[in-house]
């Protein structure tokens, strides 16, 4: 399995992670992505504030796709474009 295949399977489960660490962990993962690669985030609420943070920060393009939208779990694929 190549590194791109391994990263495609990365799921960041935010549900047990302290709020103060979440964005830093997510942006660290995003910054490590090459164009066209993606990871998923798993959360217990809609991560809309995170998307706004992406919009205010993104120096390069990103994709945001809801794979599951509640009511108990939100799953989002984040892609570097």
Q: What's residue 6's pLDDT?
A: 44
- State the CATH number of the domain containing residue 48: 3.30.110.40
Q: DSSP states of 55-77 as a string?
A: HHH-SS-EEEEEEEE-SS-EEEE
Overall average pLDDT of the 49-61 stretch: 82
How many independent structural domains does the chain possess?
1
Residue with tokens 């994709």: 63
Mean pLDDT of 12-35: 92
Read off the DSSP letter of residue 35: T
Least confident of 6-15, 18-27, 63-72: 6-15
What span, in angstroms and rounded, lies between the C-alpha atoms of 35 and 33? 7
> Domain limits at 34?
3-80
């Amino acid at each position: 399995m190549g590194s791109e295949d391994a990263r495609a399977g990365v799921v960041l489960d935010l549900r047990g992670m302290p709020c103060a660490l979440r964005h830093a962990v997510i942006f660290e993962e995003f910054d490590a992505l090459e164009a066209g690669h993606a990871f998923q985030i798993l959360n217990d609420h809609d991560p809309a504030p995170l998307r706004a943070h992406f919009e205010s920060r993104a120096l390069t393009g990103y994709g945001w796709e809801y794979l599951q939208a509640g009511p108990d779990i939100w799953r989002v694929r984040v892609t570097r474009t």
